[in-house]
């Protein structure tokens, strides 16, 4: 397997940054890690998870769709799209890598979203296997193997060594381009770490919850009509934090920003189904209370999405909502209540 | 770069007709004077104005016509702006979107009963007009349409013209007695039961939720089955292509899997519309 030593990592990053844009988790002054553009002096953070997910790299938090101008009665639509620069995301955990598959099913489905595809085409994902999963991790519930994290190149960090295994054509081309950085070494330490980590994962509290029946059309209306939604949603503040930290939440709004008289930027921005105006129309709102909004978010991830996508769940078990929700409400409690656990 | 569905084209308003105090019909053509796009009866389009916003509007005109029209009720920001617009105003349009009424499949050769209330006529008008333009393909066309008052009947003149056709019957009603109105008075659901249509009809219903609810009850009492009744739904939409998440009901997106649904299909979905 290809390897490089920990003390060579910064030189590797510097070399990547010469040819590409490089993004990786870096510890912030808050003590929490976030993905950021690498700069000289930045240390790769080996923290288990970043506060925010990596979805922003492909499904941007906000982005200009096109410009639209109006002068007197004339309207002109200006295509402002351009190819984005090639970039590398380093250190993406298995859960976040799966979230890209979840988003692909939405944005690459016909008709293809050209903004998303542009970023997807130009981005390369170097994942990072987990070795110290937290009690809030439950990716295994969704058949995600945190020790084989996918992406274009899989990586492992064992002691003072990083191991790399390219698994796509893009990944192959990348390691070929940067081959002078790597040395070949036996992958026995990786195999050992995998085994140890899988043992740890096995013992995590939420990885064996019961999902039976969630992803089936037969149970759809039955789950929808369950009275427990009311109690579960009682504490929900509708703050939307869960949807912003969630790697798979994909709802967006399209809005106009007036740059100057007659000139408008029409942009897309993340939105949240937890907000009261999300479905509000001139005449009515089909999701009137927080109970309906709360139910929508979890029904979408656990029932609607998998029915539409061959059983793939819309949750990746990253645990961010468990950590971030101000009232400690989360998908695990929903699965436990609704899944007869 | 590949075609982007979210990016609109520009059309121009070539004609504006006031239908009611709060409904106007806008004819929109391409800048080259040609038809905007080819659509199917029951489809919708995203209409937008820079700095004001975008909204999904049903296409009122039949695909058999050489123009595209939208009957729009003044209800919010964008529709309010459009109501102030003049002929010659350009607007952005994208689409058409959504699953149309099955005019070439289930509807073919059938007697068709259209039941509408208020602005609910707008999305049905394209189908009615389409079927009337192809009289050999369909049986009897029966329209039952009601509004608050005579002034609130959308497409009043056009409907009267339609009613003169041999295969078409138009039954209008208004909620309350009004001077100058000698037609039927009463709510749509009651009127449907009074008219007692025979069970040979395939039915299409659109209107305010309360009207739909009671009309459906009435139809059931008359012996109609869910499998012969269709509707078209309204939900808030931002993308029109099943991605923004807004119009999601169960595993369906109204913009892509609808807006046209048969009532037995709706019965499989969560009751959240």
A226, A266, A293, best to mutate vs chain B, most B CBs in 10 Å: A266
Q: Do A83 and B50 touch (CB under 8 A)?
A: no
Q: Do A282 and B75 touch (CB under 8 A)?
A: yes
What percentage of chain A exceeds 70 in pLDDT? Answer: 100
Where does chain B show beta strands of DSSP type E? 9-20, 23-30, 44-49, 53-58, 68-73, 90-97, 111-117, 141-147, 168-174, 184-185, 201-206, 229-232, 248-249, 252-253, 260-262
Structure confidence at residue A70 (pLDDT)? 96
B2, B3, B4, B208, best to mutate vs chain A, most A CBs in 10 Å: B4
Q: Please tell me the distance from the alpha carbon of residue A216 to that of residue A292, in angstroms, as a whole number.
A: 20
Residue owning tokens 């993905």: A35
The mean pLDDT of A151-166, rounded to a whole number, is 97
Structure confidence at residue A213 (pLDDT)? 80
Q: Do A281 and B236 touch (CB under 8 A)?
A: yes
B167–chain A nearest CA distance, Å: 35
- Residues 6+ away with beta carbon under 8 Å from B86: A73, B13, B16
Residue owning tokens 């009267």: B160
Contacts of A258 in chain B (CB under 8 A): 51
Chain A, window 290-329: residues with a beta carbon less than 8 angstroms from a chain B beta carbon? 292, 296, 299-300, 303-304, 307-308
- Integer CA distances (angstroms), A73 to A68, A84, B76, B143, in order: 13, 34, 21, 38
Nearest by CB: B50 against A264, A271, A273: A264
A246–chain B nearest CA distance, Å: 15
What percentage of chain B exceeds 90 in pLDDT? Answer: 95
Q: Please tell me the distance from the alpha carbon of residue B124 to that of residue A124, in angstroms, as a whole number.
A: 49
CATH topology of domain B9-97: Elongation Factor Tu (Ef-tu); domain 3 (2.40.30)
Q: Do A307 and B79 touch (CB under 8 A)?
A: no
B30, B52, B84, B243, best to mutate vs chain A, most A CBs in 10 Å: B243
Contacts of A78 in chain B (CB under 8 A): none
Chain A, window 236-265: residues with a beta carbon less than 8 angstroms from a chain B beta carbon? 250-256, 258, 262, 264
Nearest by CB: A73 against B51, B89, B270: B89
Structure confidence at residue B119 (pLDDT)? 92
By the 10 Å C-beta count (0-12 exposed, 13-18 middle, 19+ buried), B163 is classed as middle
- Integer CA distances (angstroms), A315 to A240, A249, A319, A330, in order: 16, 9, 10, 11
Q: Please tell me the distance from the alpha carbon of residue A275 to that of residue A211, in angstroms, as a whole number.
A: 27
Chain A: residue whose CA lies nearest to B4 = A114
Reference A45, options A157, A206, A182; nearest CA is A157
Contact between residue A147 and residue A130 where contact means Cβ atoms under 8 Å apart: yes
Tens-place pLDDT, residues B173-202: 999 999 999 999 999 999 999 999 999 999
Q: Do B245 and A221 touch (CB under 8 A)?
A: no
- Integer CA distances (angstroms), B184 to B32, B146, B165, in order: 45, 9, 20
- Integer CA distances (angstroms), A94 to A241, A254, A319, A337, in order: 22, 30, 12, 26
**Position A183 pLDDT exceeds 80:** yes
Tens-place pLDDT, residues A70-103: 999 999 999 999 999 999 999 999 999 999 999 9
Reference A248, options A196, A320, A338; nearest CA is A320
Q: How confident is the model at residue B79 (pLDDT cuts 50, 70, 90)?
A: very high
**C-alpha angle with apex A98: A96 to A103, nearest 5 degrees?**
95
**Position A341 pLDDT exceeds 70:** no
Contacts of B52 in chain A (CB under 8 A): 256
- Predicted TM-score (pTM) of this structure: 0.94
SS3 B127: helix
Chain A, window 62-121: residues with a beta carbon less than 8 angstroms from a chain B beta carbon? 65-66, 68-70, 73-77, 79, 81, 83, 106-107, 109, 111-115, 117-118
What is the phi/psi pair of residue A257, to 5°? -125, 120
**C-alpha angle with apex A31: A28 to A34, nearest 5 degrees?**
45
Q: How confident is the model at residue B272 (pLDDT cuts 50, 70, 90)?
A: confident
> For all residues of chain A together, what is the average pLDDT?
95
Q: Do A264 and B75 touch (CB under 8 A)?
A: no
Q: How confident is the model at residue B271 (pLDDT cuts 50, 70, 90)?
A: confident
Q: Do B51 and A70 touch (CB under 8 A)?
A: yes
Tens-place pLDDT, residues A211-262: 988 988 888 999 999 999 999 999 999 999 999 999 999 999 999 999 999 9
Q: How many CB atoms lie within 10 A of CB A279?
A: 24
Q: Which two tokens stand for residue A205?
A: 């509290």
What percentage of chain B exceeds 70 in pLDDT? Answer: 100
Nearest by CB: A256 against B50, B76, B239: B50
What is the phi/psi pair of residue B65, to 5°? -85, 160
**C-alpha angle with apex A20: A19 to A22, nearest 5 degrees?**
130
Q: Taking the C-alpha atoms of B98, B99, B104 and B110 in order, what is their torsion angle to the nearest 10 degrees?
A: -120
Structure confidence at residue A218 (pLDDT)? 87
Is the alpha carbon torsion for A158, A161, A162, A165 positive or negative?
Answer: negative
SS3 B204: strand
Structure confidence at residue B1 (pLDDT)? 80
* Domain chopping of chain B, boundaries: 9-97, 111-232
Reference A316, options A70, A135, A100; nearest CA is A100
Contacts of A261 in chain B (CB under 8 A): none
Is the alpha carbon torsion for A109, A115, A118, A121 positive or negative?
Answer: negative
Structure confidence at residue B233 (pLDDT)? 92
Chain A, window 5-64: residues with a beta carbon less than 8 angstroms from a chain B beta carbon? none
CATH 3.40.50.80 fits B111-232, yes or no: yes
Q: Do B245 and A284 touch (CB under 8 A)?
A: no
What is the phi/psi pair of residue B229, to 5°? -120, 130
Q: How confident is the model at residue A283 (pLDDT cuts 50, 70, 90)?
A: confident
A75, A229, A251, A252, best to mutate vs chain B, most B CBs in 10 Å: A75
Helix (H) or strand (E) holding A19: helix A9-19
Q: Please tell me the distance from the alpha carbon of residue A193 to that of residue A208, in angstroms, as a whole number.
A: 22
């Amino acid at each position: 397997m290809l390897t490089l030593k920990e003390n060579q990592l910064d030189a590797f990053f510097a070399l990547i940054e010469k040819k590409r844009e490089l993004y990786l988790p870096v510890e912030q002054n808050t003590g929490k890690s976030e993905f950021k553009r690498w700069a000289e002096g930045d240390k790769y953070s080996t923290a288990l998870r970043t506060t925010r997910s990596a979805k922003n790299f492909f499904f941007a938090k906000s982005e200009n769709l096109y410009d639209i101008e109006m002068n007197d009665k004339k309207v002109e639509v200006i295509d402002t799209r351009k190819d984005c620069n090639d970039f590398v995301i380093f250190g993406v955990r298995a859960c976040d890598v799966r979230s890209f598959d979840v988003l692909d099913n939405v944005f690459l489905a016909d008709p293809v979203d050209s903004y998303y595809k542009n970023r997807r085409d130009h981005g390369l994902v170097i994942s990072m296997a987990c070795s110290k999963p937290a009690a809030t991790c439950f990716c295994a519930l969704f058949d995600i193997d945190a020790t084989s994290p996918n992406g274009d190149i899989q990586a492992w960090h064992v002691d003072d060594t990083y191991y790399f295994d390219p698994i796509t054509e893009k990944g192959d081309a990348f390691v070929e381009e940067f081959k002078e950085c790597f040395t070949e070494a036996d992958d026995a330490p990786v195999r050992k770490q995998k085994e140890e980590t899988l043992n740890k994962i096995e013992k995590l509290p939420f990885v064996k919850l019961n999902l039976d029946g969630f992803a089936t059309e037969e149970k759809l209306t039955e789950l929808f009509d369950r009275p427990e939604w009311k109690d579960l949603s009682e504490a929900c503040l509708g703050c939307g934090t869960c949807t912003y930290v969630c790697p798979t939440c994909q709802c967006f709004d399209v809005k106009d920003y007036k740059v100057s008289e007659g000139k408008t930027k029409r942009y897309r921005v993340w939105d949240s189904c937890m907000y009261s105006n999300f479905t509000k129309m001139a005449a009515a709102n089909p999701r009137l209370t927080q109970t309906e909004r709360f139910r929508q978010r979890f029904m979408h991830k656990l029932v609607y999405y998998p029915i539409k996508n061959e059983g793939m769940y819309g949750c990746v078990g990253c645990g961010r909502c468990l950590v971030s929700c101000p009232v400690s409400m989360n998908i695990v409690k929903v699965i436990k209540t609704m899944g007869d656990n | 770069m590949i075609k982007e569905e979210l990016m609109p084209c520009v059309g121009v308003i070539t004609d504006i007709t006031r239908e009611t105090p709060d409904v106007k019909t806008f004819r929109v053509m391409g800048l080259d004077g040609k038809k905007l796009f080819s659509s199917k009866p029951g489809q919708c389009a995203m209409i937008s104005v820079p700095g004001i916003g975008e909204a999904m509007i049903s296409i009122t005109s039949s695909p058999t016509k050489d123009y595209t029209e939208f009957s729009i009720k003044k209800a919010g920001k964008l529709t309010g702006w459009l109501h102030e617009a003049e002929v010659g105003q350009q607007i952005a349009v994208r689409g058409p979107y959504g699953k149309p009424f099955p005019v070439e499949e289930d509807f073919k050769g059938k007697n068709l009963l259209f039941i509408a209330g208020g602005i609910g006529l707008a999305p049905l008008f394209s189908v009615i007009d389409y079927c009337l333009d192809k009289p050999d393909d369909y049986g009897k066309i029966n329209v039952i349409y009601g509004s608050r008052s005579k002034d609130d009947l959308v497409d009043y003149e056009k409907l009267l013209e339609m009613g003169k056709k041999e295969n078409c019957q138009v039954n209008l009603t208004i909620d309350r007695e009004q001077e100058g109105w000698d037609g039927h008075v009463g709510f749509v659901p009651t009127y449907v039961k009074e008219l007692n249509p025979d069970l040979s009809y395939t039915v299409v219903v659109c209107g305010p939720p309360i009207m739909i609810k009671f009309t459906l009850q009435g139809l059931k009492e008359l012996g109609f089955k869910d499998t012969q009744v269709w509707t078209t739904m309204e939900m808030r939409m931002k993308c029109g292509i099943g991605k923004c998440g807004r119009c999601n009901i169960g595993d369906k997106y109204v913009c892509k899997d609808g807006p046209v649904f048969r009532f037995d299909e709706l019965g499989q979905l969560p009751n959240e519309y």
